[in-house]
Structure 1
């Protein structure tokens, strides 16, 4: 009966509007415009994993000489910032800050864009850094200490890694992953992204921004710089490696942030483009 069909439709419509309709609307308005970004992540992640497992088990090995003073530094067994703490300082910490900020100023679209950008930023930095590291194969400052060359190896001639006797596969071959500094690129990628985000939220280039806001916004940059400097103290890299790694991470974080947020000079720099 017509009346019953109308009654049935009226009963179904609220359910559709409250759940299915809402999900479809959110997908179309908030997620679908970024489908290409998610597809890109779905492609780059397995490629990066496969490279780590099958291609980058050993880097390219540049020849070296035992009398090269640039690679005669001692091998530090304990690092100032191990990889685990690097992931915490430059990965987990910025993520938590961005998450807390999102809960404090709840804006679903802004939260989505900010966290998506942060993830893309870190993954792209890791991918690019690892490809360059393993392709270049530049010796670290502590290479000879890692190598433990065979007795009688010529000191004034170029030799290959086959002259090394260190049985620890990772320690030995990681000695040819000096350029660029992965710690530096990752630190300036994660903490740099956080700094750019805070700079935009505090409208730092606008009048009356306040000194304390400026200090808070720039503090992640300082943290990233200290992590990068620690690589010099550990003799894992020289200044050139660290500077290039820092510039690489900073450039990627700035590029990803600017992809969705206006310039700091804009009055709407605190909001992503689609929300303006």
Structure 2
């Protein structure tokens, strides 16, 4: 401690950060820094790194209250998400054992007269491996090996790094489960509702041609058999499952499942490996001749508008194309999904429209499931959205935007005089303490394809403070 007239100040900021992480007092007394001579006013950098003991006590009590109140409610909300997905998956599984609507058919229809393929190119067990197990494994490998990446400064606590790894793994699996379950649920329900015959229905049916007149339900009457429609009761197939599955052509389950799982995997890999079409962030200082020049730094007589514009960059230098091998790696799951969907055509399991519609439905499920839990690929830097705030873990209500904690609106923006922050925290203990230390110099505004760029990763000189994970501590 250093004594300054009129103040009792605690100088060591590192001790404060460690107490935020561990919520424990130092195990040994820290050596006192040199005393500041009386009458000498401390420099501004020194005042920016000190805090009063009362502020530190309030900060510690605030973090303890967050640890005590927030995690259980947030964790339960995500457990409930998994429970809902499991329930939907069980309902979709139950649809498999329900008799679908069986649309009448003609014995002379060539579209349902294809042979029954005994050995499918992609059977159901292989579909499960390729569309579910493979994405689950790759999401885990990428999340555990490549997250949080090279931007973590030295000295970052391992517990914080593993919290970020596990969070990215959790939301990666949760988004994948949402895509697969939603696609499977809609596919199974629509199969039973439409009851469309498969291309190999007659081979499955084995119709009773000797008593075919008993089963006529539509078409032209008379002795001429063309144009007559027969009910499924004409079938002599002894396997109930084989006959029941013959009326589940629309939409294709292989197409929707492969698109849901593998396209989601492609989006996940593209996000983590920053594989995207190069783009330029629009800015106010744009569309000037120097931006499109071949060598904009030569002969430029313009004055830089501040230190961050000392080096003038052209538009062509603000983005670059990712390596081709990364593009190929991200497109491989997408190509595999197309192969699985196409195999249903030459195996005579689905009509063309069934395959296209099923794939489109799985594609939509994968896209919205990915965006449900992850930031946009072009602007998200590979990160997923943070956790919900504890007060909105299950319900946000009317008048609130989203499920994250909204930033506090200053009184000046509301036309009210600003109040003392210490007084506000005394009346509302949920207001976090003010940030300590100098301004975050690790954030620099540059004319690049990112609005904010981190020079030293997340931290500033090794002093790491993860704001996104604050709700999860």
TM-score exceeds 0.5: yes
Question: Normalising to structure 1: TM-score of the pair?
Answer: 0.84
Instruction: Note the 1:1-276 alignment, pairs <5 A.
Output: 26-28=71-73, 31-32=75-76, 34-35=78-79, 37-53=81-97, 56=98, 58-104=99-145, 105=147, 107-152=165-210, 153=212, 155-156=225-226, 157-205=228-276, 206=278, 207-266=320-379, 268-274=380-386
CA offset digits 1:220-272 (Å, max 9, x no partner): 01000000010001000111110001001111011100111122221x24101
Alpha-carbon RMSD: 2.2
Deviation at 1:70, TM superposition (A): 0.7
Tell me which moved more, 200-209 or 124-133.
Answer: 200-209
CA offset digits 1:28-62 (Å, max 9, x no partner): 56x34535523422542443344444xx2x21100
How many residue pairs align between the two structures? 253
Tell me, in whole angstroms, the C-alpha distance in 1 between the residues paired with 2:172 and 2:190: 27
CA offset digits 1:198-230 (Å, max 9, x no partner): 111122224231111111001101000000010
> Aligned residue for 1:18?
none
Tell me, in whole angstroms, the C-alpha distance in 2 between the residues paired with 1:219 and 1:204: 13
Q: Is the 8 A contact 1:261 1:269 kept in 2?
A: no
Paired residue secondary structure (1:176): coil
Contiguous gaps of at least 5 residues in structure 2: 1-22, 25-65, 148-161, 214-224, 279-319, 388-467, 469-473
User: Would the alpha carbon gap of residues 74 and 52 (structure 1) be closer, same or farther in structure 2, given more than 3 Å must change?
Assistant: closer
- Which of the pair has more CA radius of gyration? 2
Question: Normalising to structure 2: TM-score of the pair?
Answer: 0.50
Tell me which moved more, 60-69 or 151-160.
Answer: 151-160
Tell me, in whole angstroms, the C-alpha distance in 1 between the residues paired with 2:346 and 2:95: 30
Tell me, in whole angstroms, the C-alpha distance in 2 between the residues paired with 1:50 and 1:66: 31
Tell me, in whole angstroms, the C-alpha distance in 2 between the residues paired with 1:49 and 1:145: 26
Contiguous gaps of at least 5 residues in structure 1: 1-12, 15-20
